[in-house]
Chains A and B, each alone.
Chain A
Amino acid sequence: MDTAAIIMLLVGAIGLWGGLVLAIISYNRASRREPQD
């Protein structure tokens, strides 16, 4: 694969999947702080 394509692959992967992981961590942390219904 071309270098530019690899860079954009990393941008997409980090941006989307990394963002998702952070959102899940944040959700779990919030659940532990204040148990929900």
Chain B
Amino acid sequence: MSTVEPAVTRDQWGTKLGFLLAAIGSAIGLGNIWRYPYVVYENGGGAFLIPYFVALATAGLPILILEYSLGHRFRQGAPAVFHSINPRWEWLGWWQAAISFVICTYYVVILGWCLSFIYYSFGQQWGEDTGAFFIGEYLATSDGAAPTGFWNIGGIQLKVLIPMLVAWALIYYLMQRGVSKGIEMASRVLMPTLIVMLVLIVIRAVTLEGASEGLNVLLTPDFGALGDPGVWVAAYGQVFFSLSIAFSIMIAYSSYLPRKTDLSNSGLIVGLSNAGFEFLAAIGVFAALGFLAVQSDVAVGEVAQSGVVLAFIVFPQVISTLPGLNTVFGLLFFGSLFFAGITSMVSILECVVAAIREKFDLSRKVAVNWICGVAALLSILYVTRGGLFYLDTVDHFVNAYGLVVAGLLQVLLIVWVARTLDEQRAHLNATSYVQMGPWWTVSLKFITPVLLTFMIGWSIWEELKENYEGYPTSGLLFIGGGGVLLTLLVALTLSLNSRPPHDALVHAGKE
């Protein structure tokens, strides 16, 4: 690695705080609000905190800090980093970038839904039957149960398309402005706002009648659940997906950091901010669910949901049932989802932009035009009547078989193939106040590979037991498996191009 300082500096973060907020914004996404609370509830309640802490310490934080060290040491995007380590592994960086690109194509659709529901919050336009409104009226999802309606693509839903295009326009604007003026500027405004909004949501939720019922259900520990391997898989999965590991985001983000940066501490702050945020979100969500359960005279378990159903079907019910300030609560909730999502979305796009620019020596404008243009066209698939099925299927497969496998391969490459873990640790310790010691090495050498392999095996086992969500096998193989395979083929094709990823310094002047 060259130690010569360039005449023209690479694109950099404006301030350390700006980087931290952007990295926290990347990690905090929709899953923190709509996935984590249900995972805790479903996997032993308060007892889940034990495997969660263990997973954070032995996999989440070590991999996150490893990614920081890779980006900071090589100062390039993932394909170029892996090319520098071993040219035959450049494809792995492209695979991560390709997976991130696919995720962008559907993530933006959900941001569009959030925008729509910000609008629908005025006067609670979703009416009494929120499920029928979201699935039937808003998405106009194909008639019939999933197996029969899956392939009924139907027409494009303008109600979904228009907000998605608005989201794309905002994302395009931020991406064109670049790292410091676009992503960092947005993060400096949106992240503090998001935290204030979440605190307001939690204060309102915990002061509602029935909130304690919800919190009891969320936090009462079932220590017997710790004997179930599925609970540990859930903890490692939650930590893995929540920290945006293996997207190659943190490699790109840390490549924009100045030479003298406390990487380990930055990683700890980002990881713990993300975990602290989702813990707070879980308190707010389950307090609100406790209120809904009491009002509806049902058990909390009957209204406890996750993902799309929680956000767009259950929460509108909560908002409509509130004794006052319903619209304000709706704006806070869907605004929080949108802010959490958009800071993650730009980070996912940025790692693709960095990779493409370095390979093809493109200016930011050209790279952003191509990437946003193609992604926007592909995202139209998800605003059709079958869009919800395709989104759900692609999301399931790229997460379970794309990100986790790519994350495992990344660790195996560094630790066991290229054997550069000691060099990475030396780089970290040379720049950081908190030194990476034996726990970091042991976690990455043994614990992380074993756990990620177990997670993959567990996912395959679950897949073979029954079709995911009852979707047809043809749909799962074509849309899900085919999607993952396509990302792999694109990655291999790009890495076959003999031109190595361009040194980042050459195109830095094209900003």
- A residues sitting closer than 8 Å to B (CB atoms) are 1-2, 4-9, 11-13, 15-17, 19-20, 23-24, 26-27, 29-31, 33-34, 36-37
Q: Is B258's CB within 8 Å of the partner chain A?
A: yes
**A16-B276, A20-B269 are known contacts. Are A27 and B262 too (CB-CB below 8 A)?**
yes
**Do B433 and A27 touch (CB < 8 A)?**
yes
Closest 5 CB pairs of A and B: A8-B46, A30-B433, A37-B258, A5-B219, A20-B272
**Do B221 and A12 touch (CB < 8 A)?**
no
SS of A interface (majority): helix
User: Binary interface profile of B, 244-273, with partner A (CB < 8 Å = 1, else 0)?
Assistant: 000000000000001111100110110011
**Do A36 and B261 touch (CB < 8 A)?**
yes
**A4-B46, A8-B45, A36-B16 are known contacts. Are A19 and B272 too (CB-CB below 8 A)?**
yes
**Do A5 and B265 touch (CB < 8 A)?**
no
Shortest distance between the CB of A28 and any CB in chain B (Å): 9
**Do B216 and A5 touch (CB < 8 A)?**
yes
Considering only CB atoms, which chain B residue lies closest to A24 in the complex? B269
**Do A4 and B220 touch (CB < 8 A)?**
yes
Considering only CB atoms, which chain A residue lies closest to B206 in the complex? A1
Q: List 25 A-B contacts (CB under 8 A).
A: A1-B216, A2-B220, A4-B46, A4-B221, A5-B219, A8-B45, A8-B46, A8-B219, A9-B46, A9-B215, A12-B219, A16-B272, A19-B272, A20-B272, A20-B273, A20-B276, A23-B269, A23-B272, A26-B265, A26-B433, A27-B262, A29-B433, A36-B260, A37-B258, A37-B261
Considering only CB atoms, which chain B residue lies closest to A34 in the complex? B260
**Do B259 and A27 touch (CB < 8 A)?**
no
A12–B262 Cα gap in the complex (Å)? 26
User: Binary interface profile of B, 474-502, with partner A (CB < 8 Å = 1, else 0)?
Assistant: 00000000000000000000000000000
A23–B268 Cα gap in the complex (Å)? 6
CB neighbours (8 Å) of B45 from chain A are 5, 8
